[in-house]
């Protein structure tokens, strides 16, 4: 005696699946299986958030590392005492060397509200950069060059959820975006590429003849 087929379903569908009404679900799964994977979204290049073009691009290095992760960017407050983020938080483990991004004179090196901080007045400008929490290795009044180590990251005192350096930029009492100091080649650093050298003659190669060998 033949088993009865469930009405409305194909002959190849098991009666249990037909009874559970899983045919539409199987159809959706089959469609998803044949769809091509979605390509990943292209990475957004890091750009300064500030619009003050009066900030000179004098930076020659990142304060920490070669391309540190930006945990939080600059968020200018609407008012002097308004909420915002008056700098940039860069991920850096405790003990990481902190470098001056540009040449200048150390205007402060010590502790503020229990946190170590270093401030550098940039040469030829009315700007100064700040770094905290940092254990200073320089004294107030010292002249520093771009890339010179001015301290190390403190293990405590950071307002980040992980170890970081808060990097700030000020003109007087006005906070600016410190990323504006960095040139595009530092903000968008990619893999190194060898470029062709044009206008230079190739060197003349000479064959090396083993001793005692004759033509």
Q: What is the pLDDT of residue 44?
A: 38
pLDDT under 50: residue ranges of the chain: 1, 3-4, 6-9, 13, 16-20, 25, 28-29, 31-32, 37-45, 50-51, 190-198, 200
Distance CA 17, CA 169 (A): 66
- Whether residue 125 contacts residue 108, with contact meaning beta carbons closer than 8 Å, is answered with no
Q: What is the pLDDT of residue 53?
A: 72
Q: What is the pLDDT of residue 31?
A: 45
Q: What is the pLDDT of residue 139?
A: 97
Which two tokens mark 18? 């037909």
Q: What is the pLDDT of residue 65?
A: 93
* Distance, first Cα to last Cα, the chain: 98
Q: What is the pLDDT of residue 86?
A: 73
Q: What three-state secondary structure class fits 28?
A: helix
Q: What three-state secondary structure class fits 104?
A: strand
Give percent of the chain above pLDDT 90. Answer: 44
- Whether residue 126 contacts residue 172, with contact meaning beta carbons closer than 8 Å, is answered with yes
Q: What is the pLDDT of residue 160?
A: 83
Q: Which among 74, 171, 61 is positioned nearest to 125, based on CA atoms?
A: 171
């Amino acid at each position: 005696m033949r088993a009865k087929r469930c009405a409305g379903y194909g002959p190849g569908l098991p009666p249990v699946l037909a009874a559970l009404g899983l045919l539409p679900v199987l159809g959706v799964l089959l469609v998803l299986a044949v769809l091509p994977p979605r390509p990943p979204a292209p990475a957004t290049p890091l750009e300064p958030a500030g619009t003050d073009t009066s900030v000179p691009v004098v930076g020659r290095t990142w304060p920490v590392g070669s391309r540190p992760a930006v945990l939080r960017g600059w968020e200018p407050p609407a008012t002097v005492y308004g909420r915002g983020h008056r700098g940039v938080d860069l991920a850096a483990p405790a003990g990481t060397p902190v470098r001056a991004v540009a040449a200048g004179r150390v205007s402060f090196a010590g502790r503020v509200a229990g946190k170590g901080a270093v401030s550098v007045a940039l040469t030829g400008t009315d700007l100064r950069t700040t770094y905290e929490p940092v254990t200073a290795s320089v004294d107030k009044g010292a002249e520093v060059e771009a890339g010179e180590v001015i301290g190390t990251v403190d293990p405590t005192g950071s307002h980040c959820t992980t170890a970081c350096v808060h990097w700030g930029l000020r003109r007087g009492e006005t906070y600016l975006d410190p990323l504006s100091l960095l040139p595009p080649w530092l903000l968008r650093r990619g893999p190194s590429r060898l470029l062709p050298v044009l206008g230079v003659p190739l060197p003349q190669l000479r064959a090396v003849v083993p001793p005692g060998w004759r033509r």
